[in-house]
Amino acid sequence: MTAVRLTPGQHIHLVGIGGAGLSAIARVLLQQGYHVSGSDRSASALTDALAREGVTVYIGHDAQHVLGAELVVASSAVADDHVEVAMARALDIPVYRRRDIIGAVTSGQQVIAVAGTHGKTTTSAMIVHVLRAAGHDPSYIVGGVLRATGTNAGVGRGPAFVIEADEYDNMFHGLRPHTAVVTSVEFDHPDFFATPNDMVQAFAHFVSLLPPDGLLVACADDPAALVLAQNRLVQGLPVTTYGLDSGLAAWRGLNLRLEADATVFDAGHDGRPRGAVRLRVPGAHNARNALAALAVAEKQGVPFASAAAALAAFEGTERRFELRGDVGGVAVIDDYAHHPTAIRMTLEAARQRYPGRTLWAVWQPHTYSRTQALLDGYAAAFGAADHVVVTDIYAAREQPIPGVTGAAAAAAIAHPNVHYAPGLADAARLLDTAARPPAVVVIMSAGDAPEIGAALLRLRRAQSR
């Protein structure tokens, strides 16, 4: 497909505008001067916010919604026979995916693209936060709402454009990064990547999009990311690495510890101590994310002391270890973790942050194909929890697979205290009855399971009156 050319003032219609990816693109297009409309099957906080900002938002899908549009962008979850996509093609309106249009959206700016199976949302948000605090005013697209800005995207006056580089549907192949961060490369999205090697090759192609003077920032603690860095090093191209565990890391975090509810580590670069870094967001994985942000900040000319001070004030993003409430000694945390490694890291962070509380892990499996392909990993992911609650599978874009169910996933988990609660209301009632204070409930879901936490908090508040 030829490169997409955009002209401010064009009418661009987005199908699936309520998703994390397209809602952010819509916001940037609006601020860049385009007429933006879009549709989604249901209203959400994201669609409501876009409507308030001036986007024409349709709830529900209809062929008439594309009339007048000069270009249509369809979410990765939207099928080719979708009613709006079909109408656009019948009218000879060009239809694109995110990977087709994202290069035009970021054109003319210094693109800092953050990719990885895990950590890309928080790392992107940290970089945005540090650059904003340093007065660089970047444009950005992040897969979660930053607590500091209240939004997931924005157009700044500075030259940098920070973007979360999603591997699904090879969206990140549409980017032309000046700096590329790779946090991790671990098999996921089996509905798109047929094999783990297919996913590795997709990341390798992403890295190859860097220009000869572009910088790769790779996590040395992740074997596949480290190989990508080493492959680039042998070509004599710019690379820096980071990590907690690997002696090969150029940016190193040492002496990781908890101080007054803050995650603290000592940062060093090329063997030279740089100073302590304090984080409000818990867990070793967030220390790694912060090291990546420090590496990018230095590339952008931000002094270490300024970057560390900004990270100390970083409050995170919505649905990434987000405290939704603490009522009567039961804290409720909402997290986006839906891959075995992310679940394990999130629960370890919860154990660190709430060492004296009973830890309840609530997992809503996301998609049948992922649950089936990664079941062995899920079975071993809950060791840090005292109790595990598993709901039915959130189907997202998929049809059921025979034998792949929430009940079967719960039965496969190697843990002495596993509970199966098929519905969200069932899970909330179970937790209200069984989660005795002091406790922390961590709800891990890329679907609608945050409703469990909201319901649990309502029940507990009603009892405390």
Query: Known catalytic residues?
Result: 120-121, 164
Q: Rounded distance, CA 72 to CA 91, Å?
A: 11
Q: Rounded distance, CA 284 to CA 287, Å?
A: 5
Q: Rounded distance, CA 414 to CA 412, Å?
A: 6
Number of CB atoms found within 10 A of residue 312's CB:
15
Sign of the alpha-carbon torsion through 147, 153, 158, 161: positive
The crossing angle, in degrees rounded to 10, of helices 20-31 and 98-105 is 30
Question: Which residues touch 362 (CB under 8 Å, ≥6 apart)?
Answer: 388, 389, 391, 427, 431, 441, 442, 443, 444, 445, 449, 452
Helix (H, G, I), strand (E, B) or coil at 171: helix
Helix (H, G, I), strand (E, B) or coil at 321: coil
Question: Which residues touch 258 (CB under 8 Å, ≥6 apart)?
Answer: 264, 282, 352, 353
Q: Rounded distance, CA 214 to CA 207, Å?
A: 10
How do beta strands 153-154 and 139-141 pair?
antiparallel
Question: Which residues touch 134 (CB under 8 Å, ≥6 apart)?
Answer: 297, 300, 302, 306, 307, 310
Number of CB atoms found within 10 A of residue 375's CB:
16
Q: Rounded distance, CA 273 to CA 427, Å?
A: 47
Q: Rounded distance, CA 369 to CA 393, Å?
A: 10
